Chain A
Amino acid sequence: DSGVTQTPKHLITATGQRVTLRCSPRSGDLSVYWYQQSLDQGLQFLIQYYNGEERAKGNILERFSAQQFPDLHSELNLSSLELGDSALYFCASSQSYNSPLHFGNGTRLTVT
């Protein structure tokens, strides 16, 4: 058990809809990372937060947004969903930039 909790585990929704993915980091970790894994692709970096502030941004679509709250949990909001957004979304946390990432079990999003 990595200590990182992601909810929900599975999400099925229709095109055009909006969903929110939630992540609770491991106790003591200040950094939260979001990654997307689409079919036959590796882990694509979306965004990183550190202690409530955005620290780094990857190839995150404008339809996607995220935030980290004062209690350090994070939410990834995906709107105007398209079929191509179907993927496994991972959250990971770490103590600092040189520390290993601890991954949650992922949220599998299916857009129909």
Chain B
Amino acid sequence: ILNVEQSPQSLHVQEGDSTNFTCSFPSSNFYALHWYRWETAKSPEALFVMTLNGDEKKKGRISATLNTKEGYSYLYIKGSQPEDSATYLCAFGGSARQLTFGSGTQLTVLP
């Protein structure tokens, strides 16, 4: 069973704060690491797909980094806004071609 862990489980921040979460995954047989944003009553939406060690991706105020050798990825949100409130999921893709999701980090941004 693949172990994909996300921390923290939940997070409350004030509007304007910057924040970051961690995704830990197996450091062997790496193929890809995905990040998704999942708002309540909606479906998960893709943020990033990263495949190379050292990859950094950015979309507006959200960015992500990848370290495949040590098996972790960070997601950063700069200047959080209430509309950033959602659950952020990472998913590990290994050579078995199975995309395994973590349990997510639930972010609440307080106005």
Contact = CB atoms under 8 A, between A and B. Distances in A.
B31 to A, nearest CB: 7
Interface string A92-112: 000001111111111000000
A106 B97 contact: no
A102 B49 CA distance: 12
Contacts of B93: 97-98
B99 A104 contact: no
A45 B99 contact: yes
B49 A98 contact: yes
A57 B98 CA distance: 7
Nearest to B48: A100
Q: Which secondary structure dominates where chain B touches chain A? A: strand
A74 interface: no
A99 B32 CA distance: 9
Interface in B44-88: 44-46, 49, 51
A23 to B, nearest CB: 12
A100 B99 contact: no
B101 interface: yes
Nearest to B96: A56
A42 B97 contact: no
Contacts of A33: 99
B107 interface: no
17 contacts: A2-B43, A2-B45, A35-B101, A42-B89, A42-B102, A42-B104, A43-B101, A48-B98, A55-B97, A56-B98, A97-B93, A98-B49, A101-B34, A103-B43, A103-B44, A103-B45, A104-B43
Interface of A: 2, 33, 35, 41-43, 45, 48, 55-58, 90, 97-106
